[in-house]
Structures are given as C-alpha cells and as structure tokens.
Chains A and B, each alone.
Chain A
Amino acid sequence: MAQIFHPSTNTISRFSIFGALFAVAGLLWLVLFMNRSYYSTQVNVPREQPVPFSHKHHVSGLGIDCRHCHTSVEESAFAGIPPTKTCMNCHSQIWADAPMLEPVRESYRSNESLEWTRVHDLPDFVYFNHSIHVKKGVGCETCHGRVDQMPLMWKENTLQMEWCWSCHEQPETHLRPRDEVFAMGWKPAESQAELGPKLAAEYNVRSALDCSVCHR
C-alpha cells in the first residue's frame, strides 16, 4: 500500500509536539506580561484632559497644598475633585483671558461640571478610603508619586491588587509622620527600618489582610 504521509511528517510531528509545549508556555507568559505592562495598566501614561491642568505648576511652582483642592481627603473615602469655583477663585483674576482656560470659564458660566478624565480608577467592588490612609501616615506621594513633577497627571502605580497587598502586608515600610503626609520628596531622617515600626506602633497600624477590609 502506498504511503499516506511523506517521511518528513515524522520530523514535523515531533517538532509540533515540542513546539506546542513552548507555544502554550509562551502564550501564558505573554498574557501575564501584558497584564502588568504599561499598555494595560496605563502606568506612566499621561492622560489627555479637557484642560491641560498641570500639578507640576500648581504644586511645585506655586506651592499650593494638596488639600486646597482635594478638600475631603482627610475625612472621606473620596479625596474630592474641586468644583470649577475653586479654579475661578484665582483664574477670574490671573490668566482670566487665556484661551486654554476657556473650558473652565464656560463651565463656570453654564454651571456644568468639567468632565475630567479619571486617572486613578479602582473597580467598584474595592472600597478604598483615603481618610484612613492619611490618618495612619501614608503619604500622598507613596501611592501617587511625585505629583509635583507631573505636567499632566499619570498613574505612578498599577493599583493592581498585588500592589495594594505589598503594602498591606508590611505597612511599616511605607509609613511617614502625619505632618509629612502631604509633603513631596520627603525622606526619613533615620532609616525607614527604624522609623517605620515606631510609627506603626504610635499610629496603631497593623497589616490588614482580611478580604473584607477592602471588599464588602
């Protein structure tokens, strides 16, 4: 009987069996790699906004405190997005005619909020609370990075759960004195390994790993 397959089929089939193994492993690696890539996490990607608001200019240039705009960060889960009125406090006098600020003035006239693009957006099943983190000595910078150096806002961290977890397991590695929470570029005078546990004891910070801490 005639051969059905060419002799080269042997090599092809052997190769495809081993090849499939590598292909599957490679595909899995690719998926896990993509999950953590800047492309999918949007880390280090400056986002377009209706008005190109610069934290760099307002924070390091003018020295405005975070809480001037994000007023509820110490008392509430949500740090707060300032109303247009907050902008207009100054911009009715300074750069009052700048074309770049027209959407702000338009919002003020029409009483319609500016629709900012949200940069730090957690899933709805995560009940993150800013106030407790501020009270326990976690600096703005710890999660949001050097906001005073960002012309347009970007995410400094992935906000993926493994990132939350890394601090919730060992909170003392990321604590600073309460006075320094809103400071940018703060460095501990002594080593964090000495300061962290002291602050953790003083502020009664424990590792908080129960599911229900963040998921209700």
Chain B
Amino acid sequence: MADMTTKLPVGGASTPIIEPGHTYGSVTNKITSIVLSGRTPRLWYVGIGIGFSLVMLLLVALTNLLFTGTGIWGLNVPVGWGFAIINFVWWVGIGHAGTLISAILLLLKQDWRTSINRFAEAMTLFAVACAGIFPLIHVGRPWLAYWLFPYPNTMGVWPQFRSPLVWDVFAVSTYATVSALFWYVGLIPDFATLRDRSKTRGKRMIYGILAMGWRGSAIHWYRYETAYLLLAGLAAPLVISVHTVVSFDFAVSLVPGWHATVFPPYFVAGAIYSGFAMVVTLAVPLRALYKLEDFITAQHLDNMAKIILATGMIVVYGYFMEAFMGWYSGSQYESYMILNRMTGPYAPQYWLLLFCNAVVPQLLWSGKIRRNALVLFLISLVVNVGMWLERYVIVVTSLHRDYLPSSWGMYSGTIWDWSLYFGSIGLFISLLFLFVRFLPMISIFEMRTLLPTSGKPGK
C-alpha cells in the first residue's frame, strides 16, 4: 500500500485531475446547475424508474417475509446462513470505499479524491442502509431486533458480548453514524452555496436549514476544517475495523473454511476492492450522463483501477492461503473443505468467482484499459459479481458439508431470496438517483481549491 500511495499523482502530476480552463464560477455553475436548473436528463427518469420498480419488489418480498416467515427462504439445516448473510457482507463491503476515499485518502493528502468523495460517501451510506436490512430480517422476528442492543430490559439479561454477532451490531451502527456525520459535515458549505443560488423560497428554506446558518466566515472555515479532520481521524480506523468484525462472524466459529486467521485482512481488502468497483460502476455512467469528464478525468479512473488491482491481488492471496492451509493444516476437514469447493457441487461458483476476481482484473495492468471508461465499467461489474460469489462460496460451501455426512445438504436461493437481493439493489439505485438529483454529487468548494488560481490546496 505504501508504495502504491507514493506513486499516486498529487495535484495533477501526469494528467490533470480537473481539466484546464475552469474558474471558480464555472465549477460552481456546473455542479449546482445539475441540482438547481431543473433540466433533468431523460435517462434519470429511466434509472429511477428501474430502481423504484425494484423497490416495489423489495416491499412485496419483505411483506411476504413478515407475514409468512423465513420459511420462504432456501435456508434449512445444515445451511442456516444464506442470502441474508451473503448480501449483508456484500453491501457492507461495498460501503467501505466511501470511507476509504473520504477519510484515508484525505489524511494521505490525495487531492484526486475530491471529485469522487461526495458520491462515494453517499454510496457508502446507501450501501450500509441496504446492508442493514439483511441482518434485521435474518433475525427472524425483526420487531424484536432491539434486543441486540444492551439496554436495561425486563428480562434481566444482556446480549452475549462474547458473540461476534453483537460486535457486528456495534461495528455497523458506529460505521453508519460516523459515515453519515462525515457526509453531512462535508455537505454543509455546499448546502450554503445551493441556498444562495436557489431561486424559490422553498428551496432556500430547505437548503438553508440544512446549511445550518453557514456564512463562510473565517471562524466557520476554521471550525469546519478542524471538525472534518477529527471526523476523518475517527473514520479512518473504521475502514479497517468494520469488515474485520464482519469477518469475525465467520472466523470466530469452528467451521472449516471460516475458522482462519487470514480472514480479517482478506475481508478488509475484499471490501475495498468491491467498494472501488462499485464507485467505478457508478462514476462511469454518471460522468457520461451529466458530462462531468472535466471533473472525473481519466486520471481518476486510472487511480481507482490501480486500487482495484492492488486490493484484488490481496484478495487473491487470501484465496491462495485458503487452499494452502487446507493442505498445510493436515486437518482432514480443512483439506476436504477446499477440495469440496474445487470439485464439489458448488465448484462452478468457485471457479467463476476465481475467474471474476483473480483473472479478469489482471487486465488492469494495462494503462490503456485503466483509462478506457467502458472497459473499466465492464470490469467493475465483473468484480461486483465476483465479490458476491465469493461470499456465496464462503457461506454455502462451508455449511453444506457438516462434520457428519448425515448432516449434509444442499442450498439454493428461492425466488424470494433473489427478490430481496434485487430489491435491495433497487433501493440502492433509487437512493442514488435521488441523491444526484437533489444534492451536489461533487464537492463544490473542494473542487474550487483544486483550481490553479486557488494557490496551495487547503489540506
């Protein structure tokens, strides 16, 4: 990682991270007009239409689940964890890119993050919201989910603090809180810009309330910078800790294929990998739709592709270590587990996952491909699929062959499992389209600091 970060260009070394010719006014106009001009591209309606239809599917599936119960899922002994856990890990992982971009790249003074941090943070929030649905419904009786929190209840018992599932509750809720705060604090100066540029009283009121009385005075900026740095410092360890705790859900158990010390770093790398893939998946269409090539340049695509490649290689190391430990441990259960993955009933999923996560990203060694938006977009889709398959293989193959052959079984998702999964994608898409319509998707004031006329960048 250290080597990689030093090679990333700072302030436009090879290709500019903001195209030449822009002024303070043109940057502000370009970004605020997306929100305020009212000229919404037709494709926006298509996009939110698709997203909203899938949200309806999600609501139908959730309603059926609440009325009928978890029996509508494919879960059964011995596979007691299925789509809910797979989707949860997948979404939380995707959420990691936002915090990495906003906190760690900020602390490392990577100025190129400025064009992508706002919508990456929004993406984080929406991904965490989608992730949050799944453990909630997986508990079976979601109306009692507050039992997960320690509060002085009439039962006289506390949650089992030795269980990683309880650590998860704290990790994910902390993460959601800090991400939301970070995102909101970063938005305050831009809310003020939108307030000042709004034409109607209603818009002024709404953006004005959200701007919390921001006037852009020196003391405001001083406090803002302090708060933002403090929040970045708080959020940076979360990038590592949250997915580590998620990996503990597996690693703390005694199931072959889960009980492995490589899990925390392997999961964290996988999270950043899938998160950056999702940022690319969103950035490429958005920059085409809103003609933002000036702000999200080929240099951004290149940098993100490099991070995808680097973290992807760490993930591949994880796959390699799983196979290695199957042999090196000398445990018949461990070696059976990995052989079963490679040759058992779920072998197609395993090899497809390796194709998606280990083979396809190798294309990113080529600089031409890294800077080709369309190809990069397609690769990012493959990575998204690959990371979902990775969780599928981890969860299902380890459980479906229990220690005793009498408790072996097979698992596959039902139509309701798939409905919930695609429904959550719909929720994600809908929230994202609402976000780009009503909030500035690129940080206006931070982009202004990148202009050559602004002197030395503030951070």
Count of A-B contacts judged by CB separation below 8 Å: 38
Q: Is the CB of A13 within 8 A of B212?
A: yes
Closest to A161 in B: B155
Tell me which residues from 138 to 158 in chain B have a Cβ below 8 Å from any Cβ of chain A: 151-157
A92 beta carbon closer than 8 Å to chain B: no
Residue-wise, chain A 58-89 has the 8 Å CB interface mask toward B (1 for contact) of 00000000000000000000000000000000
Residue-wise, chain B 207-218 has the 8 Å CB interface mask toward A (1 for contact) of 010001100000
Tell me which residues from 157 to 176 in chain A have a Cβ below 8 Å from any Cβ of chain B: 158, 160-166
A35 beta carbon closer than 8 Å to chain B: yes
Tell me which residues from 12 to 39 in chain A have a Cβ below 8 Å from any Cβ of chain B: 13, 28, 32, 35-36
> How many angstroms between the C-alpha atoms of A164 and B154 in the bound complex?
10
B195 beta carbon closer than 8 Å to chain A: yes
Closest to A160 in B: B154
**For residue A163, which residues in chain B have a CB less than 8 angstroms away from its CB?**
156
> How many angstroms between the C-alpha atoms of A9 and B154 in the bound complex?
41
The main secondary structure of chain A at its interface with chain B is: helix
> How many angstroms between the C-alpha atoms of A165 and B153 in the bound complex?
12
Q: Nearest Cβ in chain B — how far from A127, in angstroms?
A: 16
> How many angstroms between the C-alpha atoms of A35 and B212 in the bound complex?
38
Give the size category of A's interface with B.
Answer: 10 to 19
> How many angstroms between the C-alpha atoms of A32 and B157 in the bound complex?
14
Known contacts A4-B195, A4-B208, A5-B208; is-contact A35 B156 (Cβ 8 Å)? no
B205 beta carbon closer than 8 Å to chain A: yes
Q: Is the CB of B156 within 8 A of A32?
A: no
Q: Nearest Cβ in chain B — how far from A164, in angstroms?
A: 8
B19 beta carbon closer than 8 Å to chain A: no
Q: Is the CB of B152 within 8 A of A32?
A: yes
Residue-wise, chain A 37-63 has the 8 Å CB interface mask toward B (1 for contact) of 000000000000000000000000000
Q: Nearest Cβ in chain B — how far from A176, in angstroms?
A: 23
Interface centre among B155, B156, B157, B204 (most CB of A within 10 A): B156
Q: Nearest Cβ in chain B — how far from A145, in angstroms?
A: 19
Q: Is the CB of B156 within 8 A of A10?
A: no
Q: Is the CB of A10 within 8 A of B213?
A: yes
Q: Name 26 A/B residue pairs within 8 A (Cβ), A-sorted.
A: A4-B195, A4-B201, A4-B204, A4-B208, A9-B213, A13-B212, A28-B151, A32-B151, A32-B152, A32-B153, A35-B153, A158-B154, A160-B155, A160-B156, A161-B155, A161-B156, A161-B157, A162-B153, A162-B154, A162-B155, A162-B156, A163-B156, A164-B156, A165-B156, A165-B157, A166-B156
